[in-house]
């Protein structure tokens, strides 16, 4: 059979959902198999490195999505404010208003952190870095921009944790709106 399985993008998306839902340790090969409809044979064919390669690929996939849909726009020199604005929209949409969790953030808290330390550090480092650059271009001093960026990304991550913890539908959007305001963007428009 040539390619009955979903293509790599769809496959990674399905695997990602399992890791997101169960964590690295909790996501068993059996679970991943059930979620993707693939047997061990296929799974280990696509990811000879096993579970660790799956998780690594999933992180890279997510990283790529943020690179293309968030960081790229933050890097765009012409209108930093638009890039930041778009970051909030993309973030709210990606995390489904807090109903979805940040897989990379979750991995950072688990034991799995050690396995993927460099990928995790890269992802968050670039997020904070690009946001800080955009804020600096928007008129903030370098130090203030850097601290604001840290504060904003932390607020987003914390809001995801909190939203999941208290199971409050509105909380993620509320924190997002506030963070939006903290970055000096007009508080009026809803995101």
Partner DNA sequence: GACGCATTGTACCGTTTGGTACAGTCGGGT
Partner DNA sequence: ACCCGACTGTACCAAACGGTACAATGCGTC
Which tokens sit at 80?
């930093």
Alpha helices in 67-113 (DSSP H): 72-75, 80-94, 103-109
For the segment 106-145, give every residue that binds a copy of itself (CB under 8 A). 106, 108-113, 117, 120-121, 123-125, 128
Mask of contacts with DNA, 13-42, x by CB under 7 A? --------------xxxxx------xxxxx
Backbone φ and ψ of 151, nearest 5°? -60, -45
Which tokens sit at 17?
């959902």
For the segment 79-108, give every residue that binds a copy of itself (CB under 8 A). 101, 104-106, 108
Distance CA 75, CA 84 (A): 10
For the segment 39-68, give every residue that binds DNA (CB under 7 A). 39-42, 44-46, 48, 50-52
Binding region for a copy of itself (CB under 8 A) out of 38-46, 51-59, 75-83, 160-168: 160-168
Element (H, E) at 115: none
CB of 41 to a copy of itself, least distance (A): 26
Element (H, E) at 136: helix 117-137
- From DNA, a copy of itself, none, interface partner of 50 (C-beta below 5 to 8 A by class): DNA
CB-count exposure of residue 187 (10 Å: 0-12, 13-18, 19+):
exposed
CB of 110 to a copy of itself, least distance (A): 4
Interaction of residue 55 with a copy of itself, rule CB under 8 A: no
Backbone φ and ψ of 167, nearest 5°? 60, 45
| CB-nearer residue toward DNA: 41 or 77 | 41
- From DNA, a copy of itself, none, interface partner of 147 (C-beta below 5 to 8 A by class): a copy of itself
Distance CA 5, CA 191 (A): 37
Residues in CB range of 125: below 8 A, 6 or more apart: none
Binding site for a copy of itself (CB under 8 A): 21-23, 25-26, 101, 104-106, 108-113, 117, 120-121, 123-125, 128, 147, 150-151, 153-162, 164-167, 171, 174-175, 178-179, 182
């Amino acid at each position: 059979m040539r390619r009955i399985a979903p293509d790599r993008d769809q496959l990674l998306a399905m695997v990602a959902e399992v890791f997101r839902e169960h964590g690295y340790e909790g996501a068993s090969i059996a679970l991943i198999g059930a979620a993707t409809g693939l047997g061990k044979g296929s799974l280990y064919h696509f990811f000879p490195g096993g579970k660790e390669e799956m998780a690594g690929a999933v992180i890279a996939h997510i990283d790529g999505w943020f690179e293309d849909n968030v960081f790229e726009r933050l890097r765009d020199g012409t209108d930093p404010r638009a890039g930041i604005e778009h970051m909030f929209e993309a973030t709210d949409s990606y995390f489904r208003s807090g109903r979805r969790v940040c897989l990379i953030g979750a991995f950072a808290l688990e034991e799995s952190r050690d396995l993927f330390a460099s990928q995790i550090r890269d992802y968050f480092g670039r997020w904070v870095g690009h946001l800080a650059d955009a804020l600096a271009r928007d008129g903030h001093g370098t130090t203030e921009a850097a601290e604001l960026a840290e504060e904003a990304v932390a607020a987003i991550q914390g809001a995801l944790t909190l939203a999941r913890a208290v199971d409050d539908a509105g909380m993620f959007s509320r924190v997002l709106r506030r963070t939006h305001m903290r970055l000096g963007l007009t508080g009026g428009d809803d995101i």
